[in-house]
């Protein structure tokens, strides 16, 4: 079998994914990783490098040189800001025989920018919470009882739960709006937020229901392949405890996202299921997210399927099927099955 070396960029604390990709490759290749600071995930890889900051003008040249020096065939990213940079430079890597497993630039802009996500979901006919970018309009609708307190506030370009607040009254709305703005421009999301610094915060109605996470797998041409759904039983920054559930109730939503977005590889979607049975989409992340490890625990192997595609092999059912009902927890180590 052809040897295949993979680079996972901006790996951060994604030790799980390093091990999962290593196991998927077996003896047929190596997993390299990169990050702008040292983390324990780097030590798990077959090789690693410390890169310039993603926003540094030398970043892409640095990655390209590293790939050439280590015979790396494909790149996958773990971080939203990195996706934006890599999507703009796919052609440069591909001219050097390196496949960038990142969706096209417009797809990344749709997912990274939560206001663009709002507009995409509306155009696709999918339910979502009432969403505001203008605090004045939100206040007007709150006073008119169009939307009730509490509301949720978060960075327009954000990752994880950084800068996420629940707003219970008008006083908190003003204070936490200013605080969120400060948080944004003291964090890595400042770079994308600078594009629209006066409208870099999103406010949404708080939904009643149970939160679920979907992993939606497309092939390398953006065609729908599979969905894995899980109920989030404990969330602390990221999903800590989850249970695999039947994906069928969520497949129409997943296929609508897949068909209209045409993303490449995995997409991490968060949604709420209400008592009435309605699905409200709240977030799209065009990459593997922290919740994928629960799919893997239950039998899926999306990284192996992606590797198979890179080798010209077809879809294998054993890579996309899961055991419904499997429940597990994770901390900073691989998911442990109950």
214 and 200 housed in the same domain: no
246 and 329 housed in the same domain: yes
Last residue of a domain, one of 158, 176, 205: 205
232 and 300 housed in the same domain: yes
190 and 219 housed in the same domain: no
170 and 157 housed in the same domain: yes
pLDDT at 64: 98
pLDDT over 60 (residue 155): yes
With a pLDDT cut of 70, the percent of the chain lying above it is 97
218 and 310 housed in the same domain: yes
pLDDT at 18: 96
Does residue 118 fall inside a structural domain?
no
DSSP-derived secondary structure letter, 106:
H
pLDDT at 115: 98
Rounded to whole angstroms, the Cα distance separating 63 from 54 reads 10
pLDDT at 163: 84
55 and 39 housed in the same domain: yes
Last residue of a domain, one of 102, 121, 139: 102
Order of strands across the sheet that contains 165-167: 131-132, 201-205, 151-155, 165-167
Last residue of a domain, one of 205, 239, 260: 205
217 and 333 housed in the same domain: yes
Does residue 317 fall inside a structural domain?
yes
What pLDDT band is residue 2 in, cutting at 50, 70 and 90? confident
* pLDDT tens digit sequence for 193-219: 999 999 999 999 999 999 999 999 999
192 and 220 housed in the same domain: no
Does residue 113 fall inside a structural domain?
no
pLDDT at 29: 97
pLDDT over 80 (residue 336): no
CATH number, domain at 196?
A: 3.30.1490.20
Rounded to whole angstroms, the Cα distance separating 162 from 169 reads 21
249 and 159 housed in the same domain: no
Boundaries of domain holding 10: 6-102
pLDDT over 80 (residue 288): yes
What pLDDT band is residue 130 in, cutting at 50, 70 and 90? very high
CATH number, domain at 40?
A: 3.40.50.20
Does residue 114 fall inside a structural domain?
no
Does residue 120 fall inside a structural domain?
no
**Mean pLDDT, residues 13-29:** 94
Residue 310 backbone dihedrals phi, psi, to 5 degrees:
-60, -30
Instruction: Pull the structure tokens for residue 58.
Output: 């030398």
Peptide bond into 150 cis (omega under 30): yes
Q: Could you write out the three-class secondary structure of the chain?
A: CCCCCEEEECCCCCHHHHHHHHHHHHHHCCEEEEECCCCHHHHHCCEEEECCCCCCCCHHHHHHHHHHHCCCCEEEECCHHHHHHHHHCHHHHHCCCCEECCCCHHHHHHHHCHHHHHHHHHHCCCCCCCEECCHHHHHHHHHCCCCCCCEEEEECCCCCCCCCEEECCHHHHHHHHHHHHHHHCCCCCHHHHHHHHHHCEEEEECCCCEEEEEEEEECCCCCEEEEEEEEEEEEECEEEEEEEECCHHHHHHHHHHHHHHCCCEEEEEEEEECCCCCEEEEEEECCCCCCHHHHHHCCCCHHHHHHHHHCCCCCCHHHHCCCCCCEEECCCCCCEEC
174 and 192 housed in the same domain: yes
Rounded to whole angstroms, the Cα distance separating 83 from 75 reads 11
For residue 288, is it left (φ>0), alpha (ψ between -120 and 50) or beta?
beta
* pLDDT tens digit sequence for 309-320: 999 999 999 999
pLDDT at 334: 57
Rounded to whole angstroms, the Cα distance separating 120 from 122 reads 5
148 and 175 housed in the same domain: yes
Does residue 10 fall inside a structural domain?
yes
**Mean pLDDT, residues 245-257:** 98
**Mean pLDDT, residues 167-190:** 95
CATH number, domain at 307?
A: 3.30.470.20
Name the one residue in this structure whose structure tokens are 């047929």. Answer: 28
* pLDDT tens digit sequence for 32-77: 999 999 999 999 999 999 999 999 999 999 999 999 999 999 999 9
pLDDT over 80 (residue 13): yes
Does residue 199 fall inside a structural domain?
yes
Q: How many domains are contained in the chain?
A: 3
**Mean pLDDT, residues 112-116:** 97
**Mean pLDDT, residues 284-305:** 96
Does residue 109 fall inside a structural domain?
no
Q: Is the pTM of this model over 0.75?
A: yes
Whether 329 contacts 338, CB under 8 Å = yes
């Amino acid at each position: 079998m052809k040897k295949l070396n993979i680079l996972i960029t901006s790996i951060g604390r994604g030790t799980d994914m390093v091990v999962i990709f290593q196991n998927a490759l077996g003896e047929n290749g190596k997993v390299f990783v990169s990050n702008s600071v040292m983390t324990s995930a780097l030590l798990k890889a077959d090789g690693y490098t410390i890169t310039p900051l993603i926003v540094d003008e030398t970043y892409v040249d640095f990655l390209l040189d590293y790939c050439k020096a280590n015979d790396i065939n494909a790149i996958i990213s773990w971080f939203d800001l990195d996706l934006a940079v890599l999507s703009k430079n796919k052609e440069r890597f591909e001219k050097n025989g390196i496949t960038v497993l990142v969706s096209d630039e417009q797809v990344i802009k749709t997912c990274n920018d939560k206001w663009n996500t709002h507009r995409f979901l509306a155009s696709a006919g999918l339910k979502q919470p009432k969403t505001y970018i203008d605090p004045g309009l939100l206040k007007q609708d709150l006073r008119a009882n169009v939307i009730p307190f509490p509301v949720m506030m978060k960075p327009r370009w954000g990752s994880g739960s950084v800068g996420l607040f629940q707003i219970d009254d008008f006083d908190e709305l003003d204070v936490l709006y200013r605080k969120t703005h400060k948080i944004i421009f003291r964090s890595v999301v400042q770079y994308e937020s600078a594009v629209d610094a006066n409208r870099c915060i999103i406010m949404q109605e708080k939904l009643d229901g149970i939160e679920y996470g979907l992993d939606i797998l497309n092939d390398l041409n953006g065609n729908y392949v599979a969905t894995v759904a899980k109920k989030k039983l404990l969330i602390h920054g990221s999903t800590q405890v989850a249970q695999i559930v039947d994906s069928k109730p969520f497949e129409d939503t997943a296929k609508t996202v897949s068909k209209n977005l045409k993303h490449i590889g995995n997409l991490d979607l968060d949604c709420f299921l209400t008592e009435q049975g309605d699905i409200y989409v709240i977030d799209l992340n065009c990459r593997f997210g922290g919740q994928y490890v629960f799919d893997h625990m239950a039998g899926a192997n999306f990284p192996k399927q992606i590797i198979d595609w890179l080798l010209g092999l077809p879809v294998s059912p054993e890579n996309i099927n899961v055991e419904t009902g499997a429940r597990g927890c994770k901390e900073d180590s691989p998911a442990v099955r109950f």
